[in-house]
Amino acid sequence: MIPASKTRYWFGPAPELLLQWLSRQAYSKCFILTDDNTSQHCLPVLLQGWPADRPLHEIKVYAGEQNKTLQAAEYIWQQLTLKGADRHALLINLGGGMICDLGGFAAATYKRGIAFLHLPTTLLAQADAAYGGKLAIDFMNYKNHIGVFGFPVAVISDRQFLKTLPADQVRSGFAEIIKHALLDGKKALLHLSEIQHLQEVDWSPFIARSVKAKLKVTEADPFERHDRKVLNFGHTIGHAIEGLLLHRKANPLHGLCVAAGMIAELYLSHHCCGLKEKTFIQAVSLLRRHFPDPLISEADFAEVLGFLRQDKKNREGEVRFVLLRKAGKAVLDVTVTEEQILEALDFLVSPPDPQPKPVT
């Protein structure tokens, strides 16, 4: 398995960059993992003019988070075996965060680990999921419950793939970009507050900033012993909501759940961690403008608490949050009372103040 620091990162045309990489390597066979959508929209882009003497053997799985499962991993292991993948094979993951997580996990465990490479095709994966080496599948509807750390040989990020991305998926990716901005500082947050229409944005600078911020944290603490935990901001409650929606087969979009999680965790940050009211209001208004649907209602609170009890950061039965003391300053392992969690969920589902305080 290659160490984090050996991963190569490229931004640019995927067909050319991938071919250049493959021509310098001696993989025994190359496989490409796709889902229904990336097989249809992204694979033809990659294969236009692709040389016949460099075959890429496709392995296709069903799209969507509900398929980030052990069954899908098993299918990939089976296909690799039937198609003759040895330990010198390469698996290329062509897709969003679900494909990067699932394909990375399948590759990192097949024959004790074969090389894999990410070609992220969603805004969320280009700004976040393809970087940092967390690989996993969901299990019993608990998010990323079974997984490993493992690092791709390379990540090739090509904006071209984003052209076919549906609007909701763009919004989903924007949530992780907001998270990185909140962890970065006030200036980054202000910059995002100016965005009105997501479909008109040139995402390149935002992706670059998110990737830089994420790599700074993950390269310093690749196995999440300490500081890397900051990246879980919004994900404690966000993953609980996502788990609940997965359980209900409601096809949740990861970023939308994280946005809801961030609204609730900003409330906790303000009330339990000293996050100033001005930043709190500014961040919540930005999130509510783009993510008005809280995804849950009061009737779901007990089940959300049940999912929170399975969070991976918990210790001795206590839920541990990453909260913000200010924009750019996260606090790790914060415990709060169940009553405070319920208040935060209540804040999430309550209609916003019809006359919010002016944000300056």
Ligand X SMILES: NC(=O)c1ccc[n+]([C@@H]2O[C@H](COP(=O)([O-])OP(=O)(O)OC[C@H]3O[C@@H](n4cnc5c(N)ncnc54)[C@H](O)[C@@H]3O)[C@@H](O)[C@H]2O)c1
3-state secondary structure the chain: CCCHHHCEEEECCHHHHHHHHHHCCCCCCEEEEEEHHHHHHCHHHHHCCCCCCCCEEEEEECCCHHHCCHHHHHHHHHHHHHCCCCCCCEEEEEECHHHHHHHHHHHHHHHHCCEEEEEECCHHHHHHHCCCCEEEEEECCEEEEEEEECCCCEEEECHHHHHHCCHHHHHHHHHHHHHHHHHHCHHHHHHHHCCCCHHHCCCHHHHHHHHHHHHHHHHHCCCCCCHHHHHHCCHHHHHHHHHHHHHCCCCCCHHHHHHHHHHHHHHHHHHHCCCCHHHHHHHHHHHHHHCCCCCCCHHHHHHHHHHHCCCCCCECCECCEEEEEECCEEEEEECCCHHHHHHHHHHHHCCCCCCCCCCC
Locate 89 and state its tokens: 């094979």
Locate 283 and state its tokens: 């961040």
68 binds ligand X (CB under 6 A): yes
Binding-residue pattern over the window 73 to 102 for ligand X, x denoting contact by CB under 6 A: ----------------------xxxxx-x-
65 binds ligand X (CB under 6 A): yes
Block residue for tokens 């071919």: 19
In whole angstroms, the minimum distance from the beta carbon of 254 to ligand X comes to: 4
7 binds ligand X (CB under 6 A): no
229 binds ligand X (CB under 6 A): no
224 binds ligand X (CB under 6 A): no
**Of 58-66, 77-85, 264-272, 311-319, which part binds ligand X (CB under 6 A)?**
58-66
Cβ distance to ligand X smaller for residue 109 or 172: 172
In whole angstroms, the minimum distance from the beta carbon of 199 to ligand X comes to: 14
In whole angstroms, the minimum distance from the beta carbon of 206 to ligand X comes to: 15
128 binds ligand X (CB under 6 A): yes
118, 180, 229, 254: residue in contact with ligand X (rule CB under 6 A): 254
121 binds ligand X (CB under 6 A): yes
17, 124, 137, 192: residue in contact with ligand X (rule CB under 6 A): 124
In whole angstroms, the minimum distance from the beta carbon of 271 to ligand X comes to: 27
In whole angstroms, the minimum distance from the beta carbon of 218 to ligand X comes to: 8
In whole angstroms, the minimum distance from the beta carbon of 35 to ligand X comes to: 4
Cβ distance to ligand X smaller for residue 40 or 297: 40
56 binds ligand X (CB under 6 A): no
Query: Which 159-178 residues touch ligand X, going by CB under 6 A?
Result: 161, 164-165, 169, 172
64 binds ligand X (CB under 6 A): yes
Cβ distance to ligand X smaller for residue 127 or 336: 127
In whole angstroms, the minimum distance from the beta carbon of 157 to ligand X comes to: 12
In whole angstroms, the minimum distance from the beta carbon of 242 to ligand X comes to: 8
d(CA 150, CA 217): 16
**301-308 and 338-349 helices cross at what angle (nearest 10)?**
130
Give residues in contact with ligand X (CB under 6 A). 35, 37-38, 41-42, 63-65, 68, 95-99, 101, 121-122, 124-125, 128-129, 132, 134, 143-144, 161, 164-165, 169, 172, 254
